[in-house]
Amino acid sequence: MSTDRGLVLVLIDGLPSWATVHMGSLGGMVGALGGYRGDLRSSLPTLSKPLYHSIFTGREPLASAMASNSSPPPPRDPGNLFAAARALGYGTCCAAHIWVGELFGGTGGELKRFVIDPEGDIQRGIYYWDDAYPDSHVVEDGKHLIGTADGRCLALVHTMGVDFAAHRYGGESREFAQAVMGADQTVAEAALRWLGEGFWVMVTADHGVNRHGLHGGESDQETLVPLWILPPRGGRIPQGAEELRRQLDLKAFVLDVLAEGVRGS
């Protein structure tokens, strides 16, 4: 495997594996572009903020004293994915919910839309805190950050439209299916561009939702989330992708891909 430009991780908030029947664009990319589709088991609790912390540190939420979205941010883990990517020579950026900025960016717990922090773990961030912020706008924010990145970069693009529709309309609603379809097409369109620019693209979710559109429990509907791995042109699916089962192992896997990108150059 080789990565020229780096890696874009797309986190579709609240997307369960059971809802990917609505996602024919990312699904089609797997066959057409030599990608991989698997499933990951999220950690518990299936709540956003604890899982944002868990995904980027590889630690169980409760081991970081994160039991709910109200839990205060733990001390910054110096081994978090963004810091580790920077140590490998990657720049870091994200278009994400403000809680990501609170945990790993330079927002200092304040509501800040734009943060430039060259010495920080996330060096450039565009944040939102209204859950109705459209997926199309988040992805556009991500395109801007990625398009203006110098050299190699690790980027996070984090959409909220699916989670928002689940809470408002329920997991069995027409509106939820529509939000999932919209996210699929918006993300796939952007992914084609990023792949063409030499980035790996990985797409996953923090947690799923149940048929009521709720999450926080331990059902398969809430804990089983999809993972797509799409290689840039000439790239091969990294070893170990098929063995990935736990969301907790994603951080180490992404780091391996980034490290290999540096070695391969």
Residue 86 CB, nearest approach to Zn ion (Å) = 25
Residue 141 CB, nearest approach to Zn ion (Å) = 18
- Residue choice 5, 11, 13, 209 for contact with Zn ion (CB under 5 A): 13
> Which residue from 97, 131, 81 is spatially nearest to 258, judged by alpha carbons?
81
Residue 222 sits in the site that holds Zn ion (CB under 5 A): no
Cβ nearer to Zn ion, comparing 131 with 256? 131
Pull the structure tokens for residue 2: 């080789």
Residue 48 sits in the site that holds Zn ion (CB under 5 A): yes
Residue 46 CB, nearest approach to Zn ion (Å) = 8
> Which residue from 66, 46, 56, 61 is spatially nearest to 223, judged by alpha carbons?
46
3-state class of 39 per DSSP?
strand
Cβ nearer to Zn ion, comparing 37 with 49? 49
The CB-nearest residue to Zn ion is 48
Q: 241: number of CA atoms within 13 Å, CB side?
A: 19
Cβ nearer to Zn ion, comparing 37 with 207? 207
Residue 114 CB, nearest approach to Zn ion (Å) = 23
Binding mask 124-163 for Zn ion (x = CB under 5 A): ----------------------------------------
CA separation for the pair 112, 126 (Å, rounded): 8
Query: Which stretches of the chain are DSSP H helices?
Result: 24-33, 48-57, 81-87, 98-104, 135-147, 161-169, 174-196, 220-223, 250-263
CA separation for the pair 162, 48 (Å, rounded): 13
CA separation for the pair 183, 133 (Å, rounded): 13
Residue 206 sits in the site that holds Zn ion (CB under 5 A): yes
Residue 54 sits in the site that holds Zn ion (CB under 5 A): no
Distance, CA of 97 to chain centre: 11
174, amino acid identity:
R
Residue 219 CB, nearest approach to Zn ion (Å) = 15
Q: Which of these segments, 2-10, 41-49, 68-76, 92-100, binds Zn ion (CB under 5 A)?
A: 41-49
Residue 163 CB, nearest approach to Zn ion (Å) = 5
Residue 138 CB, nearest approach to Zn ion (Å) = 14
Q: Which of these segments, 47-55, 85-93, 190-198, 242-250, binds Zn ion (CB under 5 A)?
A: 47-55
Residue 77 sits in the site that holds Zn ion (CB under 5 A): no
Tell me the sheet residues that pair with 93. Answer: 124, 155
Residue 43 CB, nearest approach to Zn ion (Å) = 12
Pull the structure tokens for residue 62: 């409760």
Cβ nearer to Zn ion, comparing 213 with 238? 213
CB 96 within 8 A of CB 89: no
CA separation for the pair 30, 34 (Å, rounded): 6
Q: Which of these segments, 5-13, 33-41, 89-97, 147-155, binds Zn ion (CB under 5 A)?
A: 5-13
What residues line the site for Zn ion (CB under 5 A)? Answer: 13, 48, 206
